Amino acid sequence: MAALLLFLVPAVHAFPLSLYHRIYHPSLDSDQFFNRGVLDIDRHGQVSFQPAAAFAADLLSFAEASDPLHDALYQIALPSSSAADDAPWHISSVKACHLSGSSIDSIVLHSAEPGSLPYALDYFVAPIPHDARCPAVTPKSSPVAVASRNTSVDLSFPRQPPLPELRAPPPLSPQGQPVKPAEEKPFLQKYWMYIALLLGVMMFAPGRDEGEGAGQGGRQ
């Protein structure tokens, strides 16, 4: 199994990561990975993919090998950055039956922060049926169509979820018990002074008839 091609160069340059692929099925004699190409990641988080010379030929070979095997998987992999020989690779899979009919594939590399090595990857192909079932008849791909596949590569970084809005704790008494809020007074108890003042003004205000009578008596 090929080793990871990794050169840590000055930060102004990109560092390459070798990408591998294979067809996996228990009935196949070999589960060997083949070189798919090189990913270049720069310090700004921009990623480019340069396919290997045998990329198109490998895909055609994989499509032919998986044609009678509807449960075969097409896998891409990044070797682990760990120095241990038995460190597991980062692998993502799709159904191999969708390989011939797809014209677009995308790779998402998951990294802890810009400039750090990816710790996982996801791989997607399109178009595929909405139910993701294998077609009854696998379409045949031409070398030209396979070689012109549109491969996009993106970097993804962890994002923090929004923090919960915490309510202020209730005030506590010296004994540690919650302080009960003061009970709200009834309406009459709160506004009795204003009501009494209004009633007093209404009681001592001169009546309209009395004022008119006093005016008429003065004129006589």
- Asked whether residue 148 is assigned to any structural domain, the reply reads yes
pLDDT digits (tens, 9 = 90+) for 35-46: 999 988 877 777
The amino acid that residue 107 corresponds to is I
- Asked whether residue 138 is assigned to any structural domain, the reply reads yes
Of 14, 16, 19, 15, the residue nearest 2 (C-alpha): 19
- Asked whether residue 116 is assigned to any structural domain, the reply reads yes
The whole-angstrom separation of Cα 134 and Cα 146 is 19
pTM above 0.75, yes or no: no
In this structure, what token pair is assigned to residue 128? 């595929």
- Asked whether residue 189 is assigned to any structural domain, the reply reads no
Q: What is the mean pLDDT of residues 66-82?
A: 84
In this structure, what token pair is assigned to residue 95? 């159904």
Q: CA distances (Å), 161 to each of 117, 158, 164, in order?
A: 23, 10, 9
pLDDT of 95 above 80:
yes
Q: What is the mean pLDDT of residues 120-148?
A: 76
Instruction: Give me the number of domains the chain comprises.
Output: 1
Q: What is the mean pLDDT of residues 152-172?
A: 84
- Asked whether residue 164 is assigned to any structural domain, the reply reads no
The whole-angstrom separation of Cα 152 and Cα 113 is 20
pLDDT band at 138 (very low <50, low <70, confident <90, very high): low
Length of the chain: 220
Which ranges constitute the DSSP H helices of the chain? 55-66, 143-147, 187-204, 208-219
Contact 70, 36 (CB under 8 A): no
How confident is the prediction for the chain on average, in pLDDT?
78
Of 56, 38, 33, the residue nearest 48 (C-alpha): 38
Model pLDDT, residue 143:
57
- Asked whether residue 139 is assigned to any structural domain, the reply reads yes
Q: What is the DSSP letter of 205?
A: S
Lowest mean pLDDT among 20-29, 32-41, 168-177, 211-220: 211-220
pLDDT digits (tens, 9 = 90+) for 100-111: 778 888 999 998
Q: Find the domain containing 147 and state its range.
A: 15-156
Is it true that the peptide bond before 127 is cis, omega within 30 degrees of 0? yes
Lowest mean pLDDT among 48-52, 128-132, 142-146: 142-146
